[in-house]
Homo-oligomer: A and B are copies of this chain.
């Protein structure tokens, strides 16, 4: 199959199916209800299952249960819905279940609005739920990348036995772009007999598996947390993803930006280049693990005078950027959080101001 023109939300649903995931649990919420609409029609065609829960709380535990049985499962929701799943996400992470979550962020906090936002960065990367756990978080910048990240999410979740979150925004969900679904990203679940409660079959010589997050013995719970920590450290070694842009120049300013926001930044960078001002960008594709070294190294390039975190949030990723830059360059934040995406002109002004100051 070649390229087809699809809306982001529909492409998300199709990508999950192409990735071999036939179980979708969800509760509708703007701006991503089209995923449910699409899959309510599409899942039966491929022998898959879409079950709408009574609430997002219910959905989280449906995901937990089905995943614990070794099935590939995923959900899609938007900000308030993800909050309602917070307890369940913590359980899923604690019990090491490879569930895939897609959060098409809307403006917050509270009901907020229904337009694009990146306001759930902290929730996704620092764990909205309680306890020490991390999600592997990917942030796509196009419909095609969304498709690929959704397809990669399942084997990554299984590699680490850890939930994976795709963090998009309403633009990703609503925009139409030509996409293809790469065959090589179609994978099979690999290790479920080792841990899932998928039935004891004498032919398969299965062992008795137990999926749980309860460890009443403090030593066992500490050991369990150390095991989780080791997984997160391994993610930092093996699965950091980012895209540099215009970093082979003597850029004066380094932008850190992700998702659809980074596309606007690219335009600004191109325009500024035409004006004679070089600006580099590191676009994190994984928000956790965060491209700490890449950002640090790009920041300390001699030509670079400042680092700006440009976000559709009120200053969240900038904290991670500050951690990476380690005080070696000034770190600033620019952002908006209401649904209006900052324009290239705004970005250009922000950068020019820095040039003036430095």
Residues of A within 8 A of B (CB): 51, 54, 57-58, 79-80, 82-84, 86-87, 90-95, 105, 107-115, 117, 119-120, 122-123, 126-133, 212-226, 228-229, 313-316, 319-320, 322-323, 326-328, 336-340
Contact = CB atoms under 8 A, between A and B. Distances in A.
Q: Which of A94, A133, A337 is the most central at the interface, judged by chain B CB atoms within 10 Å of its CB?
A: A337
Given A58-B54, A83-B128, A132-B108, A214 B90 contact: no
A216 B213 CA distance: 35
A262 to B, nearest CB: 19
Interface hub of A79, A80, A111, A120 (most chain B Cβ within 10 A): A111
A349 to B, nearest CB: 17
Contacts of A113: 214-218, 221
A58 B55 CA distance: 11
B84 A109 contact: no
From A54, A114, A122, A217, name the one whose CB has the most chain B CB atoms within 10 angstroms.
A122
A314 B127 contact: no
A110 B90 contact: yes
A292 B30 CA distance: 38
A235 to B, nearest CB: 14
- Complex A-B, nearest 5 residue pairs according to Cβ-Cβ distance, in ascending order: A108-B131, A110-B213, A94-B110, A326-B327, A222-B338
Contacts of A54: 54, 58
Given A108-B129, A122-B122, 15 more contacts: A54-B58, A79-B90, A91-B111, A94-B112, A107-B131, A107-B218, A108-B133, A108-B213, A109-B213, A109-B228, A111-B212, A123-B127, A127-B128, A128-B128, A128-B129
Given A54-B58, A130-B120, A315-B229, A218 B115 contact: yes
A316 B323 CA distance: 13
Contacts of A91: 80, 109-111
Contacts of A123: 126-130
A328 to B, nearest CB: 6
A216 B108 CA distance: 10
Contacts of A57: 57, 84
A274 to B, nearest CB: 29
Most buried by B among A54, A110, A112: A110
Contacts of A82: 130
Contact of A128 (B86, B229, B316, B319): B86
15 contacts: A83-B87, A91-B111, A94-B110, A109-B130, A109-B133, A109-B213, A111-B213, A122-B126, A128-B130, A217-B338, A225-B337, A319-B320, A319-B323, A322-B323, A323-B323
Contact of A338 (B79, B93, B219): B219
Contacts of A336: 222
A220 B338 contact: yes
A126 B82 CA distance: 15
Given A130-B123, A132-B314, A214 B86 contact: no
A36 to B, nearest CB: 15
Best-surrounded residue of A105, A120, A212 (most CB of chain B within 10 A): A120
A3 B217 CA distance: 36
Given A79-B130, A319-B323, A328-B327, A219 B340 contact: yes
